[in-house]
Amino acid sequence: MTDVARLAWRQYRLERKLFWRNPSAAFFNFLLPLLFLAFFGAILHGNQKQLNVIVPGIAGMAVMSTTFTALAFNMTFLREQGILKRIRGTPIPSVSYLLGIAGNAITNTAVQIAIIAVAGRVFFGTGWPRDYLELFVFVSAGVICFASLGVAFSHAIPNFDSAPAYVNAVFLPVIFVSGVFYDAANAPGFLKGIAEALPLKHLIDGLSGAMVKGTSVSTNISALGVIAVWAALGIALAVRGFSWEQRRA
């Protein structure tokens, strides 16, 4: 194992410990989607058609929560507290540090999707995922897309005190517009138009195909294309705007 990989692994293990020692982070980035799943699952018990919408919808929200939301918060905190600047001056390679942070977000996403898949099978009648390859492809694409957008969005947040307002101003409208809690096909025309332009709706479409409908990647290739475009934009903005320095003293 190279030094970069070894240090990335050590940083990843540290990030996992820090995550579970922060109850608020564990709640908002990990437990909140599961609470939504339990809540709507209880309300819609017996309505299999709606449960088939809710399960992949919550799975899509979980991907966004554990990547976009978590990284927008974390990167803003690390930058404004001067931690990134101090890390920059230590012997640990920058790429190892960032890989550790990214690995933590990916692990949270994987655990969330696994729990939701099991809950769908055991409690909500959706069965096991129909296409594991499609599930893997869309979860991976969603992680890359929303993680890069989260890092990019952190550049626009002036300080950590304002981070909740900034992040929720994006997160909450997106999950309500994109059909997390209802079938987006039944939304008014102007809302459907907005949802079609956003990546979360297309991620949910792919997850629905993988978890409920049993379609293939080729069936939802256009949805994957939209996610890829947003991912490319997010990566470009994340790299271009990244700073190790505090915005304010």
User: pLDDT for 148-182, tens place per residue?
Assistant: 999 999 999 998 889 999 999 999 999 999 988 88
Using 50, 70 and 90 to split pLDDT, how confident is the model at 60?
Answer: very high
Name the residue with higher pLDDT: 37 or 58: 58
d(CA 228, CA 28): 26
- Return the pLDDT at 83: 87
- Return the pLDDT at 56: 94
Tens digits of residue pLDDT in 67-113: 999 899 989 998 998 888 888 888 888 889 989 999 998 999 999 99
Q: Which residue has tokens 């920058």?
A: 94
Structure tokens at 147: 């993680």
- Return the pLDDT at 25: 67
- Residue 18 confidence (pLDDT) above 60: yes
Tens digits of residue pLDDT in 206-221: 999 999 988 889 899 9
Structure tokens at 206: 């792919």
- Return the pLDDT at 21: 80
- Return the pLDDT at 109: 92
- Return the pLDDT at 249: 47
Q: What is the mean pLDDT of the chain?
A: 89
- Residue 248 confidence (pLDDT) above 70: no
- Residue 107 CB: number of other CB atoms within 10 A? 15
> Which pTM value belongs to this model?
0.91
Q: Are 134 and 210 in contact (CB under 8 A)?
A: yes
Structure tokens at 135: 């599930």
Domain map (residue ranges) of the chain: 3-241
- Residue 185 confidence (pLDDT) above 90: no
Look at 25-34, 41-50, 181-190 and tell me which has the smallest mean pLDDT: 25-34
| DSSP per residue, the chain | --HHHHHHHHHHHHHHHHHHT-HHHHIIIIIHHHHHHHHHHHHTTT-HHHHHHHHHHHHHHHHHIIIIIHHHHHHHHHHHTTHHHHHHTSSS-HHHHHHHHHHHHHHHHHHHHHHHHHHHHHTSS--S-S-HHHHHHHHHHHHHHHHHHHHHHHTT---GGGHHHHHHHHHHHHHHHTTSSS-GGGS-HHHHHHHHHSHHHHHHHHHHIIIII---GGGGHHHHHHHHHHHHHHHHHHHHH--SS-S--
pLDDT cut 70: percent of the chain above it? 96
Structure tokens at 120: 């769908």
Mean pLDDT across 14-38? 78
- Return the pLDDT at 34: 78
User: Exposed (0-12), middle (13-18) or buried (19+): which is 134, by Cβ within 10 Å?
Assistant: buried
Q: What angle do CA 118, 123, 124 make, to 5 degrees?
A: 95
- Residue 1 confidence (pLDDT) above 70: no
